[in-house]
């Protein structure tokens, strides 16, 4: 990594750290770009060189937060590990490992907005996984974009419930609940989907 790449990484890390702390303090709508650059200790021109707008910084903040899980998802798409559908247990385990930050942000007044950003991001990531499980030449009864939205919406709702409920169930149990909820639809496109 050259000096320029290190500077870029340092700047973006500072912005994400600033957003993380600000989101724990007040509503996103009340956070200004000035708040972010003051907290991140960077200039306005530097901020806009990396992010066209505050919303872009938020979207990338969510993406960055789930980066390690997203790498697992990418590997899953590339390898299609053992016919598994989505590594849901890994997602819940990642959330459990980052409970303090997750609870501070996703259960705050900004929770709905953050989940919306996460949903939008994960729909784009999950669609290729779902498409992998559709047999060649077969069209699912439900349009793929609608099916993907349903699957991810279910996952998001479960995450919200799990966090609000104090994470009483294990990631593996949450994965079982997830598949139990989406099985009726997913079983039509792939017989390898687990029936819990």
Name which of 157, 87, 180 is nearest 125 in CA terms: 87
How many domains in the chain?
2
Q: Which residue range(s) make up the domain with 11?
A: 3-52
Residue 51 to residues 16, 45, 48, 68, 118, Cα–Cα distance (Å):
11, 10, 5, 22, 18
CB atoms within 10 A of CB 94: 19
pLDDT per residue over 150-169, tens digit each? 989 999 899 889 988 989 99
In a domain, 44, yes or no: yes
With a threshold of 0.75, does the pTM exceed it? no
pLDDT at 140 over 80: no
Looking at the structure, tell me whether residues 36 and 114 fall in a common domain: no
Instruction: Share the mean pLDDT of the chain.
Output: 81
In a domain, 195, yes or no: no
In a domain, 193, yes or no: no
Looking at the structure, tell me whether residues 92 and 37 fall in a common domain: no
Residue appearing with tokens 């294990």: 170
CATH code at position 14: 1.10.10.60
In a domain, 152, yes or no: yes
Most confident of 25-39, 108-122, 132-146: 25-39
Looking at the structure, tell me whether residues 142 and 177 fall in a common domain: yes
Looking at the structure, tell me whether residues 150 and 88 fall in a common domain: yes
pLDDT at 176 over 50: yes
Say how many Å lie between the first and final Cα of the chain, rounded: 46
pLDDT per residue over 17-60, tens digit each? 998 888 878 888 899 999 999 999 999 999 999 999 998 998 88
């Amino acid at each position: 990594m050259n000096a320029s790449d290190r500077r870029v990484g340092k700047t973006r890390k500072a912005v994400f750290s600033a957003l993380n702390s600000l989101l724990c303090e007040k509503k996103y709508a009340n956070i200004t770009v000035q708040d972010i650059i003051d907290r991140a200790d960077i200039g306005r021109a530097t901020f806009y060189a990396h992010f066209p707008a505050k919303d872009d910084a938020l979207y990338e903040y969510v993406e960055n937060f789930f980066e390690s899980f997203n790498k697992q998802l990418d590997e899953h798409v590339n390898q299609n590990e053992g016919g598994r559908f989505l590594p849901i247990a890994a997602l819940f385990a990642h959330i459990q490992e980052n409970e303090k930050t997750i609870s501070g942000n996703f259960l705050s007044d900004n929770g709905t907005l953050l989940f919306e950003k996460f949903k939008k991001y994960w729909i784009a990531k999950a669609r290729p996984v779902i498409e992998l499980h559709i047999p060649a030449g077969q069209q699912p009864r439900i349009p793929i974009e609608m099916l993907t939205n349903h699957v991810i919406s279910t996952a998001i709702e479960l995450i919200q419930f799990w966090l609000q409920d104090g994470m009483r169930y294990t990631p593996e149990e949450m994965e079982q609940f997830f598949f139990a909820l989406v099985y009726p639809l997913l079983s039509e496109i792939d017989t390898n989907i687990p029936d819990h």
